[in-house]
Amino acid sequence: MLKLPPPARRHALTHRPPSLLLDVEGMTFSRGAGNQRFTVEVPALKLRPGELVAITGRSGSGKSTVLELLGLLSAPHRHGRFLWRGHGRNIDLGKLWNRRAHGALAEIRGTSMGFVLQTHGLLPFLTVAGNLALIRRSLGLPPRDAHLDAMIERLDIGGKLHKKPHELSVGEQQRASIVRALAHRPALVLADEPTSALDPGLGDRVMDLLLAQAKEHGIAVLIATHEVDRVAQLGLRTVSGTDQKPATGFAWRFAD
């Protein structure tokens, strides 16, 4: 079998002084109007490669919106600075948004980012193995390699590879989702309430596995969650949303 050379980016990660993976300043997003106007503001957010950060806030505070902005899913209304240095590239995401370069943004999202959703993060019509192979194949990676095999073993889904998602328990689905999000070795994983659908014990285990894998592979993680206690317990750097209490509508500001 063809053995691919180790990716250049790992080399870059270990031998260069760490620079910022994501550098955001003065980003705002809003939708709606009048007393339904909803605004989210991120004055400054700097994320180093491999860093684990929690985005916390009450439900409805716009945590998911922050994830959408940083995951290149929603266009920010204003951005003072929006820079990306994942996978050895140096990209001004702000400029890409200004140009509405959806293709380029989707390409960065596909190659360099991974997503863990609250539930149903797998395509229902593919087996677990098919889900894992999907992005790898489209990126020209072999469907399996030692790195992925190790992860499958650690998250204990080896026996479930040939089952479809609906045949798996919620915990198994969530573990498979984590492997899927990491399978193509992204530089950043965005997780939206990854443990809220699980009972507390299972939630702890899944969170541990996610963070352990990210640490092991040098992948930065942004977790949007309302579970403040769990985040405090894990000792994660926290960016929390505070209600700005505007005269009309809703406004939240996310800062360290």
Using CB under 8 A as the criterion, which residues of the chain lie in contact with other proteins when the complex forms?
4-5, 7-8, 64, 67-68, 71, 73-74, 87-89, 102-103, 106-111, 113, 115, 117-118, 120-126, 130, 134-135, 137-141, 164, 184, 192
- Give least dist CB 235 to other proteins, A: 26
- Give least dist CB 137 to other proteins, A: 6
Show Cβ contacts of residue 232 under 8 Å, excluding neighbours closer than 6 positions. 238
CB nearer to other proteins: give 107 or 243.
107
CB nearer to other proteins: give 102 or 237.
102
- Give least dist CB 56 to other proteins, A: 16
Contact 237, 256 (CB under 8 A): yes
CB nearer to other proteins: give 60 or 200.
60
CB nearer to other proteins: give 121 or 171.
121
- Give least dist CB 161 to other proteins, A: 16
Which residue pairs, CB below 8 angstroms and at least 24 apart, start in 15-19? 18/48, 18/49, 18/50, 19/48, 19/49, 19/85
Residue 34, phi then psi, degrees to nearest 5: 60, -135
- Give least dist CB 79 to other proteins, A: 17
Q: Tokens standing for 38?
A: 């909803």
- Strands laid side by side in the 220-225 sheet: 91-92, 81-84, 22-31, 38-47, 250-255, 237-243, 52-56, 220-225, 188-192, 113-116
- Give least dist CB 138 to other proteins, A: 5
Interatomic CA distance for residues 188 and 115, integer angstroms: 9
- CA 67, 73, 78, 82 dihedral sign is positive
CB nearer to other proteins: give 205 or 226.
226
Task: Give the residue among 177, 216, 215 at the shortest CA–CA distance from 194.
Answer: 177
- Give least dist CB 192 to other proteins, A: 5
CB nearer to other proteins: give 34 or 103.
103
Residue 5, phi then psi, degrees to nearest 5: -65, 150
CB nearer to other proteins: give 54 or 233.
54
Interatomic CA distance for residues 146 and 142, integer angstroms: 11
